Amino acid sequence: MQLPLPWQRLLKTIDIVALTIVAYLCAGLWWQIVESRLALSRSGLVSGLASVLPAQFSFSSPTRDLGVILQRDLFKTGSLSASFSEQEQIDALAVTSLNLQLLGTVAVAENDDRVEPWAVILDKSSGQQNVYRQGDTVAQATIRKILRGKVVLGVQGRDEVLAMDVNPGKGAVIRGDSSSGNRIEINRQELQGAMANMSSILSQVQVKPVTGDNGEASGFALDHIVGGSLFDKIGLQNGDVIQGADGKAVTSPEDAFAIYQGLKNQPSVSLTIIRNGKPETVSVQIR
């Protein structure tokens, strides 16, 4: 028996609604499966990164800190093809002709788990050295991106790259006895207070790379140290050249940042410096 036309239309409507509900439930179930697999993949990637990163890139909590990086995609981990393409574009950029010198770059984890890249740039024209973040302006150029050892600048509508001048070898060891020594004791709580703001620390001193007779990096010279700053508290003076820490040569920003990490986590740090042309050792004991 054939149903009246209104009933046929009603049954078709019910069929469509039922199919829609089934499709919705299946889609929800599929997304739950995908999200669970992505969570496992992300966890594995975090553990893998924590195991292969160099020692100087230590984290107070590797899983948490790297998780923040992955969650916010700070280093384009969500799209490897895009990051490779971006790297090729950066490699193809012209070197900037601005009278600037890149002294170092570092990614710093803030107290609220934000991870921000910073660059220390010297304006050779004015002699001013400052800490910059992405979006800041230096010498009428905009800092578009901060990468390891290089910065992308926006200059009059085009992108240019500013790279570090030196690329020293790693793992050199300081040998030989110092002519004299200095022992500094500092309270850990006082030290932590002085180290609370990384941006403020980098503005408390001017740092310039020093090269030896062979043209290779041999340390960092300190100048314009602010009284009462971290550098003043650990016994460093204007004109000091830091050459090593705990027996290892300091020739790159990563090595210098390792000193910062050591002061945060170790009971003592031994610095090898050149002061007034003579080698000395500054032993910092943290109580």
- Whether 67 maps to a domain, the answer reads no
- Residue 100 sits in the same domain as residue 157: yes
Picking from 136, 163, 190, the residue at the C-terminal end of a domain is 163
Which token pair is 184?
């500094």
- Residue 275 sits in the same domain as residue 201: yes
| pTM, rounded to two decimals | 0.46
Smallest CA-to-CA distance from 263 within 225, 216, 224, 229 is with: 229
The CATH number of residue 99's host domain is: 2.30.30.830
- Whether 102 maps to a domain, the answer reads yes
- Whether 248 maps to a domain, the answer reads yes
- Residue 275 sits in the same domain as residue 186: yes
Q: What is the pLDDT of residues 129-171, one digit of tens each?
A: 777 888 999 988 999 988 877 889 999 999 999 987 654 444 4
Task: Tell me whether strands 158-163 and 94-95 are parallel, antiparallel or unpaired.
Answer: parallel
- Whether 173 maps to a domain, the answer reads no
Smallest CA-to-CA distance from 116 within 199, 49, 201 is with: 199
Question: Is residue 86 within 8 Å of residue 143, measured between CB atoms?
Answer: no
Distance CA 286, CA 266 (A): 8
- Residue 41 sits in the same domain as residue 92: no
Smallest CA-to-CA distance from 252 within 207, 220, 212, 230 is with: 220
- Whether 62 maps to a domain, the answer reads no
- Residue 190 sits in the same domain as residue 267: yes
Domains held by the chain: number: 3
- Residue 30 sits in the same domain as residue 101: no
Instruction: Give the residue numbers spanning the domain of 280.
Output: 180-286
Q: What is the pLDDT, as a whole number, of residue 100?
A: 92
Q: What is the pLDDT of residues 173-200, one digit of tens each?
A: 444 444 445 888 888 887 777 776 666 7
Confidence of residue 238 (pLDDT cuts 50, 70, 90): very high
